[in-house]
Amino acid sequence: MDITIDIRDKSFKKERGVVHVLDHVYFHIDDGEFITVIGPSGCGKSTLLKIVAGLDTDYDGSVYIGRQKVQKPSVEQGFVFQEHRLFPWLTVEENIAADLSLNNAEIRKKVDELIDIVRLGGFEKAYPKELSGGMSQRVAIARALLRKPSVLLLDEPFGALDAFTRSHLQEVLLQVWAETKTTMILVTHDLDESVYLGNRVAVMDTHPGRIRHLIPIDLPFPRRKTHPSFQKLRQKVLREFETISEPPTTL
């Protein structure tokens, strides 16, 4: 589904006055497009995703997914949170299935497939306390994928992962994207990741948060991080980024 974001103002009222977090964030995302969002910490990336997900409706403006105005969360807007947010009392497979029954043969099969894809075989019956941060995040990703959302929102999903797992999951995500043509918005603080995955990179500014640049990445998939044209685009995103006050955490 295509997404039309038109947020005129999003503020948080605090004891010491009002904080403007998002200001005139307007852009249109095509159906099946992969958008990566990059910006300094605290610029409102998570807030933006929560608004698109329908988790936060207290703002001035509107978000449309297809022709439907987003008014509440739904399984159509899959979400992978910055922290994994698993249910500590459910095992890995139960967390992925959640409200769906594992006794249902079809669900069972899909869950097993997803466990395979995120490489968690052998941990089906483990509780979240027995998992590393990266493993937990992989469970959270599988949980979102099971529901085949038409829009998938990912808030720094690979932030806690080692380079190896991260690049594996990037491939997984690209594969899912190629197969399902799900519209993706992925927030990241990794410049390489933003260029590697996105059709367009949205560079956000801070105080107040707004989209400073939308940089198209016209590279065919599969991309190679070492390729000169990749490096050239990476340099371009980096230059745009450096015009913003704070540099990103990893360069």
Partner 1 sequence: MPSDIRTSRQNVRNTSNHKKVKKILSGMIVPIIIAVIWQCIGTLELVTQIVLPTPWDIVLAAKNLLASGLLLTHLKVSFIRAAVGFIIGGGLGLFFGTLVGLSTRSEHLLDPSLQMIRTVPHLAVTPLFILWFGLGDTSKVLLIALGAFFPLYVNTFLGIRRVDAKLFDVARILEFSKWKRMKLLILPAALPNILLGVRLSLGAAWLSLVVAELMGSTEGVGYMIMDARQFSNTDIVFVGIIIFALVGKLTDSLVRLMEHHFLKWQDTYRGGA
CB nearer to Mg ion: pick between 62 and 82:
82
Q: What element of type H or E holds 143?
A: helix 133-146
Which residue number places its CB atom closest to Mg ion? Answer: 46
With CB under 8 A as the contact rule, the residue among 108, 147, 189, 212 that binds partner 1 is: 147
Part in contact with partner 1 (CB under 8 A); list of ranges 18-26, 68-76, 163-171, 241-249: 68-76
Beta-bridge partner residues of 231: none
Alpha carbons within 13 angstroms on the beta-carbon side of residue 12 total: 14
CB nearer to partner 1: pick between 92 and 169:
92
- Smallest CA-to-CA distance from 237 within 212, 210, 220, 208 is with 212
3-state SS, residue 15: coil
With CB under 8 A as the contact rule, the residue among 13, 14, 67, 129 that binds partner 1 is: 129
Return the one option of ligand ATP, Mg ion, partner 1, none that residue 44 interacts with (CB less than 5 to 8 A, by type). ligand ATP
Return the one option of partner 1, Mg ion, ligand ATP, none that residue 18 interacts with (CB less than 5 to 8 A, by type). none
As a whole number of angstroms, the distance between CA 240 and CA 129 comes to 41
E strands present in 81-172? 151-155
CB of 77 to partner 1, least distance (A): 7
Question: CA of 85: how far to CAs of 53, 129, 140, in Å?
Answer: 16, 12, 7
Site for partner 1 in 34-53 (CB under 8 A): 53
Tell me which residues touch partner 1 (CB under 8 A). 53, 55, 72-75, 77-79, 81, 83, 85, 87-90, 98-99, 127-129, 143, 147
